[in-house]
Chain A
C-alpha cells in the first residue's frame, strides 16, 4: 500500500500530465495481473473443480456422472475417515494448546532481559527452519523402541523403562503431537516475543508503581494486550494442523495400521493410490470446510476491526 502511494505521488510531482499519471496508476495493477490470474485459476478454480468432482462418481479418471451426496455418505461411513478425523481433533487440539502454552511461557521467560537471549532465541526457533519430513524422520528414530529413547534408557540400566507409543495404535497420535510441538513452539515463542517487545513500557512501569507483581502485570495487562498475536498464532497453527501430511508420512506413514492417519493422508491415499477421485475430493472438501470454519470468523473480526479503526 505504501509503495503504491509513493509511486503515484512521485508521478504527480514529476510530470503532472494525466496520461503519465494514469500509467503510473495502472502499472502496479498490470504487474500484479498475471499473479492474480494464476491465483484465481490454480487455487480458486481448482478448488471449485474439486468441489464439482466430489459430487461425481469419479474413480480412476475424473468423470461427470453426478451422484449427489453419495461420496459424502460413503466418506462418513468409512472407518478410516472417522479415525483420521478423530486424530485431527486430538492432534490439532493438543498441538495448538501445547504450542501456545509453551510459546507464551518461553517468550515471557526470554523477555526478562536475560543474557545470551539472541542465542537462546535462535536455538528455540531453529526447528522451524527444518521441514516436517526431517522432523518426522528424526523423531521416528528417537521414538522407535528398538533403537531410540527406550533402548537408551534400558542401556543406562532402567531395564523396565518402556516407551512404545510409536507402535501402540492408541498412543501413536501423541507421537505426532510431540514432534509437531517440538517444531512449532519456537515459532509461537518468536511471535509472542515480538508482541511483548511492542508493549508500551510506560504501561508496565505504571502497573509496577501501582504495586502490581510481575505475574499480575503479565496476566492482567501485557498478555491481554497481545490478543491479535494470539489470534495470528491460532490461525497459523490450526492450518498447519489441518494440512499436516508430510509429518505423518515421515513419522508413522499412517501406521500402525491406519491409526495415525490424518485427513490429508486419507485424501492422498484414496485419490491417488486407490483410484477413488470422487471420495478423495469429498474428503478434501471437508478439510476445506474445517479451514473455513477457522478462517471466516477470524477474517470477519479482522475486517470489522479495520472498519472501526
Chain B
C-alpha cells in the first residue's frame, strides 16, 4: 500500500514539476503487485546508488493496457519516458515509429551478444541495433501438479498429451478436477500453445512465428485442436472467466490435479507457504520437456533529449544486465535471469530446471517465443489467433478442421 501511495505521489510530483533534473530516468511500468514492486525497487536503488534520480511512473491494471494507453499519449505529445516496459514484437512497432534510441555502445561494452541467447537478443533489436534491455525470462510451458491428488487417485504424472488424457480420466473418476483452468482468452491460448509445442518446436515456429499457411493448415494443427478440445472435459464447469491465480489455488487446495501455466504461478504456491518438490511439483507441459516457450519482460529505451538524461538512460540499460540486478529481481519475481551462466544457488529447484532448459534449448533451437504472451506475433495476429482458439474451446459444435480453416484465414486477414 505504502509503495503504491509512494508511486502515485511521484507520478503526481512528476506531473507537477515538468522541468527536468540532471541524470534522471523516468520508467513507465506496471510491476505493481507485491513481489513485482519489490523486484523493480531493486533497480531503483541501484540507479540511486549510481547517482541518478529515479522517477517512478507506475500505471497499474489491465495487464499493461492502461500503461500502454498512457505511453501512447506521452509519445504523441513528444514527451516519452526514458524507458517503458514493452515486450516482444511491440518493440518493433515502436521502432517502426522511430521512437526508440540506440543502445549499441552499452551492449558492446556489456557483451550482450555473448551473454544473451540469440533468440532473446533478436527480440531486443530493431533493425540490427539494440533498443531494449531484457530484465527476466519466464518459462510458459510449465505444468504445476499436486502430488497428493495424484496419489489419492492412483495416477502418475503424464509426460505426453496421450498419457495426460489417460491419467486425467483416472483423476476425474476419483472425484477431482484434472485440469485447473480459467476460461480467459490468454489462458486458453497458453494451454493451446503448450499442446502445439508438443508437435515439435519446428512446427511451432513455422506456425506461430513464420505464420506459414502450410503449417497452420497442416494435419498436425488439426491434431492439436483435437487434443485441445479433449481438455474441455477435464476442466470443471465453473472455469468460465476464472482468473489464473484462482485456478492455481485449486491446485494448492487439492481440488485440482494440474495446471498448465507459466512460472509466475510459483509465486502463488510460495505465498501459500507451499514447498517445491514436496507440496507441489513442476514439470514441463506434456511432450515439451526439451523445449522452452519464453516470455521476456524488457525495458525499451526511448529517445530523450539532454546529455545527462541520456547518460542516465545508458546507465539504466547497463545496470539491468548486471548479474546483481538480474539475480535479485528474478528471485523476487519468480522468473529466471536472461543472462546465461549466472550463479544459481539462491534459486529453487523449479528455477534450476528452468535455467537448465533455457540453456539447453538455446543451443538446440527449441527456445521459442510464447504466442500467448505476445512474444511471437504482434497484437493484431495474436488477437486473431486468440479469437479462434477461445471460440473453438467453448463452441461444442465446431470441428477441428473448421477451426484450422478459421485460424489460417484469421491470421492471413490480420497480417
Contacts and interface: CB of A to CB of B under 8 A. Distances in A.
Contact of A61 (B72, B380, B382, B387): B72
Contact of A144 (B238, B387, B395): B238
Question: Is chain B's interface secondary structure helix, strand, loop, or mixed overall?
Answer: helix
Given A60-B93, A77-B413, A146-B236, A255 B379 contact: no
Contacts of B239: 167
Nearest to B391: A257
B7 interface: no
Contacts of A272: 65, 68-69
Contacts of A167: 183, 237-240, 394
A238 interface: no
A258 B97 CA distance: 31
Interface in B22-39: none
Contacts of A79: 387, 391, 406
A145 interface: yes
Contacts of A77: 413
B401 interface: no
B394 A169 contact: yes
B394 A259 contact: yes
Given A146-B237, A272-B65, A273-B65, A257 B379 contact: no
A270 B22 CA distance: 39
A269 B393 contact: no
Contacts of A80: 387
A256 B236 CA distance: 14
A281 to B, nearest CB: 15
Given A255-B183, A257-B390, A61 B241 contact: no
A169 B390 CA distance: 11
Contact of B394 (A145, A164, A257, A274): A257
A252 interface: yes
B328 interface: no
A38 to B, nearest CB: 19
A174 to B, nearest CB: 15
A256 B185 CA distance: 9
Contacts of A252: 240-241
Contacts of B379: 273-275
A216 interface: no
A258 B387 contact: yes
Nearest to A147: B238
Nearest to A63: B97
A26 B392 CA distance: 63
A21 interface: no
Contacts of B391: 79, 169, 257-259
A59 B185 CA distance: 22
B13 interface: no
A142 to B, nearest CB: 13
Candidate in A145, A164, A257, A259 with the most chain B CB atoms within 10 angstroms: A257
B383 interface: yes
Question: Which of B72, B94, B239, B241 has most chain A Cβ within 10 Å?
Answer: B241
A273 B390 CA distance: 17
A274 B393 contact: no
Interface in A243-275: 252-253, 255-259, 269-270, 272-275
Interface string A156-193: 00000000101101000000000000000000000000
Contacts of A275: 93, 378-380
A273 B383 contact: yes
Interface string B371-392: 0000000111011000100111
Contacts of A276: 380
B240 A255 contact: yes
Interface string B304-322: 0000000000000000000
Nearest to B63: A273
A258 B188 CA distance: 12
Interface in A30-64: 59-62
A204 B281 CA distance: 77
Contacts of B390: 255-258
A272 B97 CA distance: 17
Contacts of B278: none
A290 to B, nearest CB: 23
B394 A61 contact: no
B413 A274 contact: no
Given A256-B183, A274-B379, A61 B69 contact: no
Nearest to A277: B72
Interface in A44-92: 59-62, 74, 77, 79-80
Contacts of B238: 144-147, 167
B141 to A, nearest CB: 23
A118 B276 CA distance: 60
A280 to B, nearest CB: 12
Contacts of A61: 72, 75-76, 97
Contacts of B185: 255, 257-258
A60 B97 contact: yes
B126 to A, nearest CB: 14
B218 interface: no
A256 B413 CA distance: 23
B284 to A, nearest CB: 28
A169 B237 CA distance: 13
Interface string B57-69: 0000000010011
B118 interface: no
Tell me which of A61, A166, A167, A256 has the highest count of chain B C-beta atoms within 10 A of its own C-beta.
Answer: A256
A259 to B, nearest CB: 7
Given A253-B184, A257-B392, A276-B380, 17 more contacts: A59-B380, A77-B413, A79-B387, A79-B391, A80-B387, A146-B237, A167-B237, A252-B240, A255-B183, A255-B184, A256-B393, A257-B390, A257-B391, A258-B387, A258-B391, A275-B378, A275-B379
Interface of B: 65, 68-69, 72, 75-76, 93-94, 97, 183-185, 236-241, 378-380, 382-383, 387, 390-395, 406, 413
13 contacts: A60-B97, A79-B387, A80-B387, A144-B238, A147-B238, A255-B184, A255-B241, A258-B390, A269-B383, A272-B65, A273-B65, A274-B383, A275-B93
Q: What 9 pairs across the A-B complex have the smallest Cβ distances? A: A146-B238, A256-B394, A257-B391, A257-B394, A167-B240, A274-B383, A257-B390, A145-B237, A274-B379
